[in-house]
Chain A
Amino acid sequence: KNQVEQSPQSLIILEGKNCTLQCNYTVSPFSNLRWYKQDTGRGPVSLTIMTFSENTKSNGRYTATLDADTKQSSLHITASQLSDSASYICVVSLTGGGNKLTFGTGTQLKVEL
């Protein structure tokens, strides 16, 4: 069964600190991997999207990495801000099934003063 697992489930960090969120997937054949940010009460918003040939992609203070061999991805947040408090969802797309996405259950991040 195609699955996407994320860790940790939740995380609390102090403002200004860095953090790394993990995503392991068993989706095959793999097409691309996305990280979404979902603020409370809002819909998910795309942060990065990577194909199997890409190892890293950055979007401001967000940097995603991908190891297609081990089927692992990480999202690194640098110099966290209060506005980074949100749920971060890892999403994997099947080859040829671009419209069908497999979602992880997300990591709930809280940034505190």
Chain B
Amino acid sequence: EVQLVESGGGLVQPGGSLRLSCAASGFTFSDYWMTWVRQAPGKGLEWVANIKQDGSEKNYVDSVKGRFTISRDNTENSLFLSMNSLRAEDTALYYCARKHPAVGTPLDFWGQGTLVTVPS
């Protein structure tokens, strides 16, 4: 059974840092692109970043470029999101998701999310 379990969220002051983790199991982690998606309270989905199977390609939404870094450890079946210079608008539930093998960017398995709160 595919499982994605996020951790590392919490309350952090503006300008602070956090590192989110996502532990994957039930599939060959190194075979898949992985993605972070966030959802602010009561709002819609926002794509944040993704990373290729071997970590050689990474993409970021403009609003986090230069502040967030996505990475992975295929030996530990783990995905990470390092977040610096956090702002109130980064407050959201952060989901780790696996990209379906199909063409494009469909996300076929999602974790339960970890909540990041940055007070204004």
Q: Do A and B bind each other?
A: no
Which residues of chain A have a CB within 8 Å of any CB of chain B?
A: none
